[in-house]
Amino acid sequence: MELQPESVPRGNERILLLDDDELGLTSVRNMLERLGYKITGFTDGEEGLKVFLEKPYEFDLVITDHLMPNLTGEEIAQKMLRIRSDIPIMLCTGKVDPPWAKTAMATGVRGVIEKPFTVRECAQIVRSVLNEDRSK
């Protein structure tokens, strides 16, 4: 059954998306673009971090895979938060381990989503994280 566009939260914010899996990156990019978001995506976390460090205010949200080569999603998040402490960051992971998720949230990550996820799940958590940021 196809979801009606109005049945899931939408937005127009700018999202930096990092996933070392090309297929995963393309899939999530397409999902978020259909919901109205503007996506800049990278399969290389260091490249994504470099772009963020050059223009930290070009993005409204960062979504990064937890397991990335060279730098974990958590390490990327910590480096970004040192530059821009208000940037909302979400981590994606194949399996949410409650103690790990709690630790990630304590470091400033605003949301954790477990793969695979549905369009509705992704839309809801992205909107929730973005709305939480605006209410502060």
Domain boundaries, the chain: 12-116
Of the pLDDT bands very low, low, confident and very high (cuts 50, 70, 90), residue 47 is very high
Rounded-to-10 torsion of CA 117, 121, 65, 35: 110
Give residue 32's pLDDT: 97
Task: For residue 107, give Cα distances in angstroms to 17, 71, 82.
Answer: 19, 16, 11
> Which is more confident, 62 or 104?
62
Give residue 1's pLDDT: 43
Fold of the domain spanning 12-116:
Rossmann fold (3.40.50)
> Which is more confident, 28 or 134?
28
**53 vs 49: CA distance, rounded Å:** 6
pLDDT at residue 39 above 50? yes
**98 vs 10: CA distance, rounded Å:** 28
